[in-house]
Amino acid sequence: MSATDHVDGGPPRSAAVDHDTVPPARTGLLVVAGVLLLLPVLALMWVGSYSRVDPKLGAFPFFIWYQFLWVFLTSAVTYTAYRIVLVARPHRPMTEDAPAVDEPGEQP
Amino acid sequence: MSGIDTPALLVLVLLFLLVTAMGFWATRWRRPTSMESLDEWGLGGRSFGTWITWFLLGGDLYTAYTFVAVPAAMFALGAVSGFFAVPYTIVLYPIIFVFMARLWSVSHRHGYVTTADFVRGRFGSRGLSLAVAVTGFLATMPYIALQLVGIQAVLEVVGLGGGGNVVAKDAPLFIAFALLAAYTYSGGLRAPAVIAFVKDILIYLVILVAIVYLPSKVGGWGEVFSAAEAKMSAAAPDGKPVGSFVPGASAQWAYATLGLGSALALFMYPHSVTASLSAKSRNTVRRNASILPAYSFVLGLLALLGWVAIAAGTKPVGLDGEPNAQLVIPQLFEDMFPSWFAGVAFAAIAIGALVPAAIMSIAAANTFTRNIYKEWLKPSATPEQEAKVSKLMSLVVKAFALVFVLALDKQNAINFQLLGGIWILQTFPAVVLGLYTRWLHRWALVAGWAVGMVYGTVAAYNVANPRSGVEHFGGSLAEIPVIGQLGYIAMTAFVANLVVAVVVTLVLRAMRAPEGRDETIRGDYFADAGDPRVRTVLQPLHQEAPNP
């Protein structure tokens, strides 16, 4: 659903936005961010790939230092993903022409 | 161990007094015009920026109990039981990066304070909302109690809390908690936010000093790892190895499911959500997802201190003369550090208990107020009344935790905490999947939740641990049906929960069961700080609004 060209039959206002839509985004970039975020999860869930002692880093078994390494990689990955999603989906300000919604507290 | 370590105790008391003064001062910090609403008292005015949120979430998630229990598990059982905390707190951040921004946005638009608030608005279901609220409340209670266990461990090693006199024995813990209750009552979430600065700085200081200084005193890291390997691979009385140095092939499912299940569950807890919703913008939590791993690094180092204690030959023995692995880290500090620095380390752990205990009690109180009191008992409650009930409830919750720890065997608190982790994950489908889709039917989500809760509780009850001589609640691992490997019970229950939710949804859709009304719109999930709240949109609806 593209929000940019979606104008419902409301009052004829210039560039009225229907806020019951997903703000437009560059899907390709979102996918890239998603893949980046998936990497640490896949790497660490695949325990068989790192549950061994060698190669050691100094005295540290592979099992230990590899997981410490992922602390830093994850930090880098989430920061990169953050920069990407900012570009991928710019904020679409909400204005007061949002459709009327009952306030919480009224039970249907 | 006999007698009181006076210099350590002195440092501990001084730092504790400093923190208490800061806690009371917090009421004036970023003083709001009125404290009389849950947005102010319970969420700090939804105003915290990136760094305050970093300290607050770090102080909230990495609790004193974690600091005591993770190295204790490393010391006693090795990597599978202890080091899983590292992958757990790593995969946590990509996961919350994905969904927390949506939860923040929709909560900002609709003024939600708890996850149960969101579920109610999204699915139009009071029953599902109640299930989420009760689960959150029950899971949080033992977690608060365990923070007291963390303080107790420190006091015990300093030499306090011994003796036959019941009043003198528990007086320090009682006073500490009474002060905490008092400043949380007056300052709300601002109090732990201020204290978190001290807590986190002390923790970083102590762990970094410990990790540089202690291994050199026991012969270096090589010695630490070979001592750990020797202890873990030695045969226990039942003929099997004591523990694991690195997870063997049969323990890999356990290691992975413990990590992933705990990560999925952590931000379902009310206290995590409270700290996240107190952030001032949608992206604050996302930025934090890239800087919070700093705490995971420290937690990993702390876990290794459990193995340093093996090399150091630490003998964690309680004041009652019984071995108690939970005391291993305080005891290691007591043995190896100069007395005054041991005091700093103890203060770090004790203060580390206060921050999460405060946030947890606020979060539990908010949950009670919003989703039980206002929803079921007094729908006409004003924001002032909500704040009042929540403040009182925060006292009740803490008093209950205190009684829980002092009157009952603390093993009860540990068992309930184990159950709490299993239970809280069962709210994930309603909350997180609900942020994306309403495809799952509200009644199907209730059915899935119920199945997950019952399965998880029964499975945990049936875990025996012959080595420590317990028949029930012997651990959090059980055989995963179909796969046949040991795995985290919460994950198995979670999968069962999802399967039931999907199947029942298909049935209900075929029957055209009523879906309930959704009060949110798609744009709500992308709103940011400057966007108007829904309730402010309502009144000027007839006016011509300027376009951006």
Domains in chain B: ranges and CATH: 29-234+257-417 (1.20.1730.10)
pLDDT recorded at residue B444: 95
Q: pTM for this one? A: 0.88
Q: Which residue of A has its CA nearest to B260?
A: A45
Position B176 scores a pLDDT of 86
**Does the structure show a pLDDT above 50 at B478?**
yes
**Chain B residue with Cα closest to A94:** B531
| pLDDT confidence band for B548 (50 / 70 / 90) | very low
To the nearest whole Å, the CA of A57 is away from the closest chain B CA by 11
Per-residue pLDDT, averaged over B390-409, amounts to 87
Instruction: For residue B287, list chain A residues with Cβ-Cβ distance below 8 A.
Output: 82
More confident residue, B104 or B466: B104
Q: Quick check: B502 pLDDT over 50? A: yes
For strands B477-479 and B486-488, give the pairing.
antiparallel
Question: Are B245 and A53 inside 8 Å of each other by CB?
Answer: yes
CB contact under 8 A, A59 and B222: yes
Q: What digits encode the pLDDT tens for the residues B53-66?
A: 999 998 888 888 88
Distance from CA of B69 to the nearest CA of A (A): 19
* Cβ separation A51–B255 shorter than 8 A: yes
Which residues, at least 6 apart from A85, have a Cβ–Cβ distance to it below 8 Å? A29, A30, A33, B286
- Distance in angstroms (rounded) separating the CA atoms of residues B61 and B57: 6
pLDDT tens string, chain A, 108 residues long: the values are 444 444 444 444 445 788 888 888 899 999 999 999 999 999 999 999 998 888 988 889 999 999 999 999 999 999 999 999 999 998 888 876 544 444 444 343
Alpha carbon B1 to its chain centroid, in Å, reads 32
How many helices (H) does chain A have, and how many strands (E)? 2, 0
Which of A86, A100, A104 is facing B117, going by the closest CB pair?
A104
For chain A positions 38-77, those within 8 Å of chain B (CB to CB) are 38, 40-41, 44-48, 51-53, 58-61, 63-64, 67-68, 70-72, 74-77
With CB atoms and an 8 Å threshold, state whether B90 touches A67: yes
| DSSP percent split of chain A into helix, strand, coil, nearest 5 | 45, 0, 55
B252 to A79: CB separation less than 8 angstroms, yes or no: no
- pLDDT tens digits for B76-132? 888 888 899 999 999 999 999 999 999 999 999 999 999 999 999 999 999 999 999
**CB-closest option in B286, B297, B540 to A96:** B540
Please report, for chain A, the start and end positions of each structural domain, with discontinuous segments joined by +. 30-88
Taking CA atoms, what residue in B is nearest to A46?
A: B256
Band of residue B545 on the pLDDT scale cut at 50, 70, 90 = very low
Per residue in B159-211, pLDDT (tens digit) is 776 555 555 677 888 888 889 899 899 888 889 989 998 888 999 999 999 99
pLDDT digits (tens, 9 = 90+) for B264-314: 999 999 999 999 999 999 999 899 999 999 999 999 999 999 999 999 888
Q: Which residues of B touch A37 (CB under 8 A)?
A: 94, 97-98
The three-state secondary structure class of A108 is: coil
What is the percent of chain B where pLDDT is above 70?
Answer: 95
In 3D space, the residue among B352, B312, B351, B318 whose CA is nearest the CA of residue B333 turns out to be B312
Q: What is the complex's ipTM, to 2 decimals?
A: 0.88
